Structure 1
Amino acid sequence: MTKAIEIENLEFSYATSDGGRVLALTNIDLSIESGEFVSILGPSGCGKSTLLYLMGGFISYENGRILSHGNQVTGPGPDRGIVFQQFALFPWRTVLRNVTYGLEKQGVAKAARIERAMRLIKEVGLSGFENSYPSQLSGGMRQRAAIARTLAVDPDILLMDEPFGALDAQTRGVMQEQLLRIWDATGKTIVFVTHDVREAVYLSQRVVMMSKRPGTIKEIVQTNFDKANDVEADEQFNRAVSYVSSQVRSEYASMEAS
């Protein structure tokens, strides 16, 4: 079976204002199976969001290669959809017209795109708000609309850059559960960047832990456990959270010592 994402010997650097270059990522090797849920975790500045944008084709890289379903990533493509931390909705469009936007660009007939959009609006729990504007919605509702808009064009891979980072704890928990339901229902491959250890361990099948800059993959932790149970009381979950937390702390300690 073709991997959803394959990254081989990836290196990325960026230019500075004085004409120099900063090495942001080095020696990145990662394979992600189709239908897998993988989180990327690491200290601030380690390049985890940069790695996500490289997978999305939004940034060019110098060395190594990135494949999406066996095809070289040379730019954005319909096989990969991205959900940003900030609610990237058009403020002048209603929820319905935001969700149908990508379908309009694809030339999907009006009746078909409205039908698909309304189904997704229902799936993300926004029924009754399809004619509302983003300014009339809470943060959690805006992010649900953004997820529905990304799902509307039916990408194989969802790339999510701290999508719940700006939400309060209660809303964040609701959104995490909803995302797991969407993943279970659609079988999408999800790559999820977060700073939150518990979130990473709870949502993912694997947590990719990155080192301080220049970011490289320090370790990949398997986090498969029964999410249907009360995870807070699950010994395997709490062991994983404790271990991953200790590894992240060690990277921060290394940053402070250097």
Structure 2
Amino acid sequence: MNSKERFTAAINHEEPDRVPLDLGGWVTTISVKTYDRLLKKLGIQRTAVAFDWLRQNVKPDEDVLERLGVDTRYVHLGDSEFWRFEPQRTEKGLYVTDEWGCGFLMPEDSLYYNLVDSPLRNATVDDLASHTWPDPDDPGYLNGVEEQARQLAEAGEYGVVGSFAWETWFERAWKLRAMDRFYMDMVANKEFVHALLDKTLSLHMRLLDNVLRVCGQYLDVIIQGGDLAGQKTTLMSPATYREFIKPRQEKTHPVHQAENRCKSFLAFLRRSVQSSG
């Protein structure tokens, strides 16, 4: 089996010749500092550069992916035309305000940027209308996307994965509100949580629709995520998940299917939650 055949077998629940290897995406990733050590270990003289500024992760080089036998290749969003990564040096470290208005700080000894300022922490439902939201129709997000996906698909050598999470609608919502406040609101201020999630979901779905329209036919899998659990347990009860998260996850499913042939594992998640009560 080549990588494409191996990957295709796995996502079709068929037995491949070995477990497919994945590296370079939003979840299966590698940090700048770790990648730099890997390059040295492999005897490659090259400086690691962050591709994902927030998490300080890299987009692994093709020669490294080949040496490691990685079976996937990723298609990433282009850069926004209306926002630029311009960190400001402060006494506490490098500070960045992203396109959503959230503030992030990376201390000198940190591996990545940490959320420190949430612009909607004290907002009301009415305040959502006046917040400055990013534009999902920003043409910069589509730069190079179709070409990347088409070339990978036509080569037929690897599983082609679309990494278009844009932080995902759930994770972005709690970052805007602040995680502690957001989780309290799911009990004490449900109206606000529903309104905020509806807004972030609508922006997310618009972006997905734009991206999949130009490259969906070339993809095998799309990454969509959001931290709903830790290493040992969930971050919310099944009842809370069913109220706030599940209905919105299901709304994204038709978007995935409308413009592409990608696999969906939403049914597996649905059964898992139902079986847990």
TM-score (norm 1): 0.32
Of structures 1 and 2, the one scoring higher in RCO (CA 8 A, sep 6+) is: 1
Q: Which has the higher helix share?
A: 2
TM-score between both structures, scaled by the size of structure 2: 0.30
More strand by share: 1
